[in-house]
Amino acid sequence: EVQLLESGGGLVQPGGSLRLSCAASGFTFSNYAMTWVRQAPGKGLEWVSGISGSGGNTYYADSVKGRFTVSRDNSKNTLYLQMNSLRAEDAAIYYCARGYSSGSYYLQHWGQGTLVTVSS
Amino acid sequence: IQLTQSPSSLSASVGDRVTITCRASQGISSYLAWYQQKPGKAPKLLIYAASTLQSGVPSRFSGSGSGTDFTLTISSLQPEDFATYYCQHLYNYVFTFGPGTKVDIK
C-alpha cells in the first residue's frame, strides 16, 4: 500500500524558514516523480513544486520560485521542501503527492498534509 | 497558463446530470486532470489525460475535450459526489489548478 506521511509543519514568523518532509513507503520511491501541493484555509488547491524520480529535474510555481527548494533522498525514501523567506500567504496545508505511474505528475496518491502557519 | 472553471458553484439533486467546464488560457493538448475533494480530505484523482478514467472511479464520471476547452460530466449525481471539483493542467511543467467548482445539494 502506498503511504505518504508529511511532517515538519508548524508556526513560523514572516521571513523565517521551515523544512517539510514526506516519508514514502509501499513503492519504489526512486521510480516516481513527486509533487508538493498546498491549500490555504478555505481556499483552492495550489500546485507548488515537482521533482523527477532521479531528482535531476525540478519545477516551481512562480509564487515560490527562488524561495522554496524541492529535493529528495532516494536512499531514505523521503521528499523535502525547504521553504525560506516565508510570507503570510504561504500559510496552508502542504500535501505531498505521487503520480499514478512512474514519471507521471497526475496525482493519484496523496498524504494527509502538514499545516504551515506564518504569523508573528 | 491560467485555468478557469464554470460554474464556480452549483446546486443539484441526486440523479441529475452535472457538467463542469474548465478552460485554459492557451492550448494544452490533452494534458488535463480532474480531482474531487471533500472537506478535510486530500483530493482524489478522477480523470487524467482529459478523458481517461482513473482505476476505481465510477463510470458515471467522464471527461472530454482538448486544446483549451474541457468538461467533466457526472451522468447521475450520487450522494457521495457532493464535493469540490478541480481541474489541473500538466503542460510546460507548471501544473496549475483551476479555482474549483463546488457541487452541493439542492
In chain A (120 residues long), the average pLDDT of successive 10-residue segments reads 98 98 98 97 97 96 98 98 98 96 92 97
Measured CB to CB, residues of chain B less than 8 Å from chain A are: 33, 35, 37, 42-43, 45, 48-49, 54, 84, 86, 88, 90, 93-100
Residue keyed to cell 516565508: A86
CA-CA distance, B86 to B22, in Å (whole number)? 9
Interface test with B, best of A6, A52, A107, A109 (most B CBs within 10 A): A107
**Partner-chain contact B48 A100, CB within 8 Å:** yes
pLDDT digits (tens, 9 = 90+) for B31-65: 999 999 999 999 999 999 999 999 999 999 999 99
Of residues A35, A105, A112, nearest to B42 (C-beta): A112
Set of chain A residues whose Cβ sits within 8 Å of the Cβ of B48: 100, 104, 106
CA distance B87 to chain A (A): 10
Interface test with A, best of B94, B101, B102 (most A CBs within 10 A): B94
CA distance A75 to chain B (A): 26
Read off the amino acid at residue A62: D
Q: What residues form DSSP beta bridges with B62?
A: B73
- Quick check: B77 pLDDT over 90? yes
pLDDT digits (tens, 9 = 90+) for B1-36: 999 999 999 999 999 999 999 999 999 999 999 999
Residue B92 pLDDT grade (very low, low, confident, very high; cuts 50, 70, 90): confident
**Partner-chain contact B94 A59, CB within 8 Å:** yes
Pairing of strands A58-60, A45-51: antiparallel
Q: Average pLDDT in the B75-94 region?
A: 95
- Quick check: B79 pLDDT over 90? yes
CA-CA distance, A55 to B35, in Å (whole number)? 26
How many CB pairs (< 8 A) connect A and B?
Answer: 57
Residue B105 pLDDT grade (very low, low, confident, very high; cuts 50, 70, 90): confident
CA distance B43 to chain A (A): 7
**Partner-chain contact B45 A108, CB within 8 Å:** yes
Residue keyed to cell 464535493: B83
Q: Average pLDDT in the B72-83 region?
A: 97
Question: Do B16 and B76 touch, CB atoms closer than 8 A?
Answer: yes
- Quick check: B73 pLDDT over 90? yes
Residue B86 pLDDT grade (very low, low, confident, very high; cuts 50, 70, 90): very high
